């Protein structure tokens, strides 16, 4: 909306709202302290939940304000839960969240939901995307992790995945190390891409976390440490329970609906689960046993590779490397889609377009955002390799072709590719692994056999599916103004390569047909 009109409204809503309340004034630093990445922040809030969450999630910033003095360009966050009724915001009709990009201020009023009130998270991300665009660096919705290669080598990867596509399970995988699970700042330093985790903690969805699939997070949630649980079920004994937790569902407790028991229904007659689907946990990353020692390195870490992943039942192979930075940005990042799950939309299988898994948070035009990526890569002496992964590929009977643990192998293959230590097969859409390399890695990493039959099923090029995807993506971008022409050129070139391969080999091409490089 018009900025002046918005400011008038928010200031009228905020006038007198703190009367009789306690105000928390908090100083934080986005990114490590004393760093080219640092952005100091100040948060005003009347919510102990917001204050406590941010103390776990962000590095202290008061010393940054002292160090930078009057030249500090800081982000500002003003929040009030407003008038309360039974500890809940009362005036929901006057709930507002305003992001003022010009003065770099976020206003949030009459709301308590974490995404609207923990200002330094996705609200700050919108400010940072705009600042990064103005200054020539990148703010991305990405994890930062260390993948451990031969002879003690650690190669750092960034990864962007839409919700429910394996982002957290990838960056917390056993045997690797985590720097961050959500937001990265990326800068060019001496011709090299370097990245930091903006945060020092995790604000994670807790639904489905169990001891088998998430052993590292599970262990942290069951060890001594400071943790905030929100929207979970609390038993009379003070224990917490959530949907998908190990063990029996407790016979009673309190949750977002008040006193709860199995079979309790809401006003519409729907059964209320023990915890909310968006129930969260908040903790400091140092509670995780696999936290990387370079979490707070003011120089950041050199980025070896960038991974884009989505929920895709029929097109992308489990792991593939782009030909170069431009090809990767366009055919993997800017073309990212994810099939909705029934839990999200009620329309299972519908593909949601989500470039770089960042569409919801963009505070600049999409064309400008893509152009920024292309320009950023052009500045680099050694651009990171760009990969795609797909943990959700299915066969014609609807069975998954990947096991949940296979991602450990894809990570090791990508790490070796960054250092040019394994070859590949060149397909029309990118470089894929050779069978013998995967067979060896499956044995080394997971201790299991990997058959040539599985390899062919997983890495067959599905030409009609790829051509249909290109049609979808081009059609979407044709409707959006100021998209770089290079995007259409790269996608057309990929279409041409696919059509040539189809003329030669047919619609479904086994990986062995493609030459080794």
pLDDT (tens digit per residue) in 10-43: 999 999 999 999 999 999 999 999 999 999 999 9
Mean pLDDT score, 322-343: 91
pLDDT on residue 485? 98
With bands split at pLDDT 50, 70 and 90, how would you rate the model's confidence at 86? confident
| Token pair for 346 | 């009620």
Q: Report the DSSP beta bridge partners of residue 306.
A: 158, 386
Mean pLDDT score, 287-295: 97
Cβ neighbours for 61, distance < 8 A, ≥ 6 positions apart: 27, 28, 29, 33, 40, 41, 42
| Token pair for 230 | 């929100």
Q: What are the contacts of 371-374 at 24+ separation with CB within 8 A? A: 371/484, 372/132, 372/133, 372/136, 372/138, 373/138, 373/329, 373/333, 373/334, 374/325, 374/326, 374/329, 374/484, 374/486
Spelled out in words, what is the top-level CATH class assigned to the domain 140-200+295-513?
alpha beta
Q: Locate the domains of the chain by residue range.
A: 3-120, 140-200+295-513, 204-285
E-assigned strands of 351-452?
A: 351-353, 385-389, 425-427, 430-432
Closest CA to 244 of 275, 281, 221: 275
Q: Can you tell me the distance from the alpha carbon of 59 to that of 28, in angstroms, rounded to the nearest whole number?
A: 6
Q: What is the mean pLDDT of the chain?
A: 96
Query: Hey, do 3-120 and 204-285 end up sharing a CATH topology, with the first three levels equal?
Result: no
What does 266-314 look like in DSSP terms, one character per residue? -TTSPBPPSS-TT-EEEEEGGGSTTB-TTTT-TT-EEEEEEEEE---SS
How far separated are the first and last CA of the chain, in Å rounded? 53
Within 10 angstroms of residue 142's Cβ, the number of other Cβ atoms is 30
Q: From residue 159, how far is each of 90, 136, 195, 497 by CA, in Å?
A: 39, 20, 12, 27
Q: From residue 61, how far is each of 48, 76, 203, 280, 360 by CA, in Å?
A: 18, 12, 19, 25, 27
Q: Can you tell me the distance from the alpha carbon of 454 to that of 84, in angstroms, rounded to the nearest whole number?
A: 58
Please give the model's pTM, rounded to 2 decimal places. 0.95
**Tens digit of pLDDT for each residue in 424-433?**
999 999 999 9
Helix boundaries (H) for 69-181: 114-117, 122-135, 167-171
Q: Report the DSSP beta bridge partners of residue 351.
A: 339
With bands split at pLDDT 50, 70 and 90, how would you rate the model's confidence at 341? low
Q: Can you tell me the distance from the alpha carbon of 441 to that of 443, in angstroms, rounded to the nearest whole number?
A: 5
Counting residues of the chain whose pLDDT is more than 90, the rounded percentage is 94
* Helices 485-505, 463-478: crossing angle, 10 deg rounding: 160
pLDDT on residue 344? 47
Cβ neighbours for 436, distance < 8 A, ≥ 6 positions apart: none
**Tens digit of pLDDT for each residue in 367-384?**
999 999 999 999 999 999
Residues annotated as catalytic (active site), given as ranges: 165
pLDDT on residue 87? 87
Helix boundaries (H) for 88-226: 114-117, 122-135, 167-171, 215-221
Planar angle of CA 134, 140, 145, nearest 5 degrees = 140
| pLDDT score of 504 more than 60 | yes
The three-class DSSP label of residue 99 is: strand
Count of all residues that appear for the chain in the document: 517
Asked whether 186 and 193 are in contact (CB, 8 A), the reply is: yes
What does 427-462 look like in DSSP terms, one character per residue? ETTEEE--HHHHHHHIIIII-----HHHHHHHH-EE
With bands split at pLDDT 50, 70 and 90, how would you rate the model's confidence at 343? very low
Mean pLDDT score, 210-235: 95
Q: Can you tell me the distance from the alpha carbon of 6 to that of 11, in angstroms, rounded to the nearest whole number?
A: 9
CATH architecture of 3-120: 3-Layer(aba) Sandwich (3.40)
If one compares 460 and 344, the residue with the highest pLDDT of the two is 460
| Residue the block writes with tokens 């003690």 | 152
Does the structural domain 204-285 have CATH classification 1.10.287.110? no
Mean pLDDT score, 252-262: 96
With bands split at pLDDT 50, 70 and 90, how would you rate the model's confidence at 120? very high
Please state the φ and ψ torsions of residue 196, each to the nearest 5 degrees: -130, 160
Q: Can you tell me the distance from the alpha carbon of 262 to that of 317, in angstroms, rounded to the nearest whole number?
A: 42
Counting residues of the chain whose pLDDT is more than 70, the rounded percentage is 98
Mean pLDDT score, 91-97: 97
**Burial state string for 280-315 with b = 16 or more CB within 10 A and e = fewer than 16:** bbbbbbebbebbbebbbbeebbebbbbbbbbbbbbb
With bands split at pLDDT 50, 70 and 90, how would you rate the model's confidence at 348? low
């Amino acid at each position: 909306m018009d900025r002046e009109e918005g400011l008038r409204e928010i200031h009228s809503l905020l006038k007198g709202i703190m009367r009789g309340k306690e105000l928390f004034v908090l100083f934080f630093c986005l990114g490590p302290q004393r760093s080219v990445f640092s952005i100091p922040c100040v948060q005003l809030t009347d919510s102990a939940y917001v204050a406590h969450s941010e103390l776990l999630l962000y590095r202290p910033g008061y010393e940054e304000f002292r160090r930078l003095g009057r030249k500090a360009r800081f982000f500002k966050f003003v929040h009030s839960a407003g008038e309360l009724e039974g500890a809940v915001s009362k005036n929901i009709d006057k709930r507002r969240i305003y992001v003022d990009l010009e003065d770099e201020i976020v206003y949030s009023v009459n709301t308590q939901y974490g995404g609207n009130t923990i200002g330094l998270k996705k609200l700050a991300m919108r400010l940072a995307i705009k600042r990064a665009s103005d200054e020539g660096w990148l703010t991305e919705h990405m994890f930062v992790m260390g993948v451990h290669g031969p002879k003690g080598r650690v190669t750092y990867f960034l990864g962007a995945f839409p919700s429910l596509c394996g982002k957290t399970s990838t960056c917390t995988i056993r045997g690797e190390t985590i720097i961050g699970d959500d937001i990265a700042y990326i800068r060019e330093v001496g011709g090299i891409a370097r990245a930091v985790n903006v945060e020092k903690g995790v604000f994670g969805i807790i639904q489905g976390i169990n001891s088998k699939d998430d052993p590292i997070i599970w262990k942290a949630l069951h060890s001594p440490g400071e943790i905030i649980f929100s929207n979970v079920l609390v038993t009379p004994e003070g224990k917490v329970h959530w949907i998908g937790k190990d063990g029996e569902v407790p016979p009673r407790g309190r949750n977002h609906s008040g006193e709860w028991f199995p079979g309790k229904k809401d006003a519409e007659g729907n059964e209320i689960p023990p915890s909310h689907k968006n129930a969260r946990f908040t903790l400091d990353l140092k509670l995780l046993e696999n936290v990387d020692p370079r979490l707070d390195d003011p120089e950041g870490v050199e980025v070896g590779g960038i991974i884009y992943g989505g929920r895709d039942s029929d097109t992308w192979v489990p792991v593939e490397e782009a030909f170069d930075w431009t090809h990767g940005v366009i055919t993997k990042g800017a073309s990212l889609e994810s099939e909705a799950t029934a839990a999200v939309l009620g329309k299972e299988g519908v593909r949601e377009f989500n470039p770089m898994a960042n569409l919801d948070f963009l505070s600049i035009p999409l064309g400008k955002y893509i152009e920024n990526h292309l320009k950023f890569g052009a500045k680099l002496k050694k651009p990171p390799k760009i990969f795609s992964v797909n943990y959700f590929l299915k066969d014609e009977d609807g069975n998954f072709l990947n096991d949940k643990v296979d991602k450990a192998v894809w990570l090791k293959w990508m790490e070796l590719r960054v250092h040019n230590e394994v070859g590949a097969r060149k397909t029309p859409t990118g470089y894929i692994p050779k069978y013998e390399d995967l067979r060896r890695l499956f044995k080394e990493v997971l201790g299991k056999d990997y058959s040539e039959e599985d390899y062919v099923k997983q890495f067959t090029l599905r030409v009609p599916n790829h051509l249909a995807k290109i049609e979808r993506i081009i059609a979407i971008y044709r409707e959006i103004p100021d998209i770089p022409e290079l995007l259409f050129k790269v996608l057309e070139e990929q279409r041409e390569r696919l059509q040539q391969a189809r003329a030669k080999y047919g619609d479904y091409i086994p990986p062995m047909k493609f030459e080794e490089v």
